[in-house]
Structures are given as C-alpha cells and as structure tokens.
Copies of this chain bind each other. A is one copy, B any other.
Amino acid sequence: MTQRPYRIDGLQYANWSEKIFRQMREGELDAVHVTIAYHETFRETVLNFEKWNRWFERHPDLIFQGFSASDVERARKTNRTAVFFGFQNPSPIEDDIGLVEILHRLGARFMQLTYNNQSLLATGCYEEDDTGLTRMGREVVAEMNRVGLVVDMSHSAERSTLEAIEHSRRPIAITHANPEVWHPALRNKSDTLIKALSDTGGMFGFSLYPHHLKNKSKCSLEEFCTMIARTAELAGVDCLGIGSDLCQDQPDSVVEWMRVGRWTKTIDYGEGSASDAGFPPMPGWFNDNRDFPTLEKGLREAGFSAEDVAKLTGGNWLRFFKESFGPEKL
C-alpha cells in the first residue's frame, strides 16, 4: 500500500477555530506554517503565542505546536496537524537582536525581513527605492542562520531579496508568492530571483491568494498548475511547494490591519483598491484545507509524476524543515 504524500502548507493566516482545525484533518494536512504576527511588538507577539497555547491545550487531538521536522512525521502518525509559527514582519524582534533566539526558542521558524515597507532590516516590495539589507539586517540574518530561524522574503523588494540570498549562510524561503511573468503583481517574483533561490537550495511556495493569481479569483486550477509546471522547468521541482496564503474566515478589518498596521493614519489598499478593499474571494477550487486533494489532482493533470506531486505538496517543505529549523552546524 502506498502512503499518500506529505501535505504541508507553507503559509496560512486563518481566523482560527475548531472548524478550521477539523477541516485541516479532513484535508489530511500534516503541517502548516501559520503567521502569528504582522505588525505586532514583541509583547503582542507573545500574546499570540499564548492564544495558540490555549488552542493546543483545548484541541490536542487535532493540532500541536511544531518545533522540528520530526514533528511533521509525528503529526502524520498521530493524525494531527503540526503548527509552525512565523512572522510576516520583523516587528516582533523590535530593535533587539537577542529576541531572535528568544523567539526561536518559543517556536518561531520563519520571519520575513520586511512586510511591503522598509523595515529596520531590508526594503519591502512597495517602496520606490530598494537599498538592500541594512546594517542591522545583515547582523539579524547571521543570527537567524545561527539559531535556525528561516529568512522569508515574500514581501520584500528584489535587491533586498537577492542580497538576503547571498548574505545568508543557509537557504532562505519565499513562502508565498508567484512568478511575476505569469501575473505582474508587485508581490510576485522575477525569474532571476526564483532561479537564485533554487540555485542556493531555497524554497518557493506558490500562493493561492487571488491578488497573486492571473485573473485573480477567476484563475482556473489548470492555469495555476500549468504555471507551476513552467516554474519547475525554470528552476527544477525540488525548490517548489505550496504556501496557500489562505486567510479563511477573516473579516475585512483584518486585511486592513495587515496593510495599514500602525504605520499610517490613512488607508493603504495594498494589492486591492478603494472599490475592492476587502479580502478577495478564493478561486472556487480552493476554498479551505479540504481542497488539497483537488490541487494534487490538478498537478497530476498538468503532467507531474506522482513522485513530483509528492515533492510539491509536502516533500520539499519537509526536506527544507529538516535542514533549516535546528541550530547551524559549524
């Protein structure tokens, strides 16, 4: 009897509930990287860890906190989902490099160096000028490498991302984005960048967030999977995974918080617009965690072998987790 492939989602930010935890089990999701901070300070981020601790305590039959790749295997064996934490912005470390190790100890496994704007560490993809890694940025990347906190450049600008790839002693990730040649959003990535990521052992997670999709909410499963096939031709299949960016059940006030945080007093529509300010509707074939089998079917139909589908839907992330979450081997 062949085992089903590992299923790992490289990013979600749902309005978490028992309903969603049960849907993750129905979809047989072994692990998920969950965003627990956008603009939060250290203390606010700790409150988010606390909120998750309550969920882990209440639903030990469905979820538990993941710290290492072996937790993905444990999740699968015990029919649960291992939840790994990450930040979309470096705000949780404030101006204190010592918080990198503290937050890694608490279980942070991914941290974006920027979220759209300039940060203390690097430049975001919405800034006009991209000045690359800052002085503190270089120090923090080295510290992240040391402890095993993955550099994520999903919302960063191109030069900053290329410099992060070059400066980092360990492979980095773009957990959720798509190729810019397929859909030219500011958040999507150039082939140069995807190639540089692949050449250094990094990971690229394909996003299902409609603003990152060609034809947005109307993007078909076939279009999405054909785009993945084209990217695999460019960069090889081993660096590719899914980072659905699923924001299930979130009210529109949350997408405003994601975009605006506390950095402006006016409204910034990000990838939306005044007439389309809220969360866009998901494509009909991917609404929640029960739709991973549909995605796998689409990948087979786009010509991927069963082996490659297994890599794309979890195997590659699992390998990357193994290589990335522990202390650096010197």
Closest to A96 in B: B50
Q: Is A99 an interface residue, CB under 8 A from the partner?
A: yes
Q: What CA separation (Å) do A105 and B42 show in the bound complex?
A: 16
Closest to A47 in B: B98
Q: For residue A103, give the distance in angstroms from its CB to the closest CB of chain B.
A: 10
- Given contact pairs A42-B43, A43-B42, A43-B43, A102 touches B96 in the complex (Cβ within 8 A): no
Question: Are B106 and A53 in touch, CB under 8 angstroms?
Answer: no
Name the contact of A99 in the complex, choosing from B50, B54, B99, B102 (C-beta under 8 A).
Answer: B50
What residues of chain B lie closer than 8 Å to A49, measured between beta carbons?
Answer: 102
Q: Is A256 an interface residue, CB under 8 A from the partner?
A: no
Question: Are A98 and B53 in touch, CB under 8 angstroms?
Answer: yes
Name the contact of A50 in the complex, choosing from B46, B47, B102 (C-beta under 8 A).
Answer: B102
User: 8 Å CB contacts to B: which residues of A93-144?
Assistant: 96, 98-99, 101-102, 105-107
Interface residue SS majority, chain A? helix
Stoichiometry, as copies per complex, reads: 2
Question: Are A102 and B98 in touch, CB under 8 angstroms?
Answer: no
Q: What CA separation (Å) do A53 and B96 show in the bound complex?
A: 13
What residues of chain B lie closer than 8 Å to A98, measured between beta carbons?
Answer: 47, 50, 53-54
Q: For residue A45, give the distance in angstroms from its CB to the closest CB of chain B.
A: 10
User: 8 Å CB contacts to B: which residues of A57-95?
Assistant: none
What residues of chain B lie closer than 8 Å to A101, measured between beta carbons?
Answer: 50, 53
Question: Are B102 and A105 in touch, CB under 8 angstroms?
Answer: no
Q: What CA separation (Å) do A42 and B101 show in the bound complex?
A: 16
What residues of chain B lie closer than 8 Å to A43, measured between beta carbons?
Answer: 42-43
Q: For residue A56, give the distance in angstroms from its CB to the closest CB of chain B.
A: 9
Q: For residue A328, give the distance in angstroms from its CB to the closest CB of chain B.
A: 12
Interface flags, A176-219, vs B, CB<8A=1, else 0: 00000000000000000000000000000000000000000000
A-B contact pairs, 18 of them (CB 8 A): A42-B43, A43-B43, A46-B99, A46-B102, A47-B98, A49-B102, A50-B96, A50-B98, A50-B101, A50-B102, A53-B98, A53-B101, A54-B98, A102-B106, A105-B105, A105-B106, A105-B107, A106-B106
Minimum-distance CB pairs A-B, first 4: A50-B98, A53-B101, A105-B106, A46-B102
Given contacts A47-B98, A53-B98, A105-B106, 11 further A-B contacts (CB under 8 A): A42-B43, A42-B46, A43-B43, A46-B99, A46-B102, A50-B98, A50-B99, A53-B101, A102-B106, A105-B107, A106-B106
